[in-house]
Amino acid sequence: MTLLDDARAVRENAYAPYSNFKVGAALRTPDGTVYAGSNVENVAYPEGTCAEAGAIAAMCAAGAREIAEIAVIADAPAPVPPCGGCRQKIAEFAKADVVVTMSTMDGTTKSMTVAELLPGRFTADHMANS
């Protein structure tokens, strides 16, 4: 099973009653463990939480702290990139050269590194004078 297969499978668990836009994400840590997440909406916050954030939360809950690879999938005409907030979350746990693969349900993919996806990202180095 590939990381995109894991993202595709968890996408089916998304709770998206308002947008009907289901997203799945799966990430792999350096030791090969896979964590997955899907988006979740609610009436007070219909845009919901992102699948990538869910996968990262699952990773952190298990005690892991590094992303080696991440994949995101949605039923869209083109591969959907992570939102700005999730880009920063991914950058918090992934090195600049980690690959983010975005995919449509029909198999169109686009891969970018974290550095390409979030140039000029905020890191702990920015707080060196604190």
Residues belonging to the binding site for substrate are 39-45
Binding residues for Zn(2+): 50, 83, 86
> What is the rounded distance in angstroms from the CA atom of residue 103 to the CA atom of residue 108?
6
Residue-wise DSSP of 80-119: PPPPHHHHHHHHHHEEEEEEEEEEETTS-EEEEEHHHHST
Which member of 12, 52, 66, 69 is catalytic?
A: 52
Verify whether residue 52 is a known catalytic residue. yes
- Residues assigned a catalytic role: 52
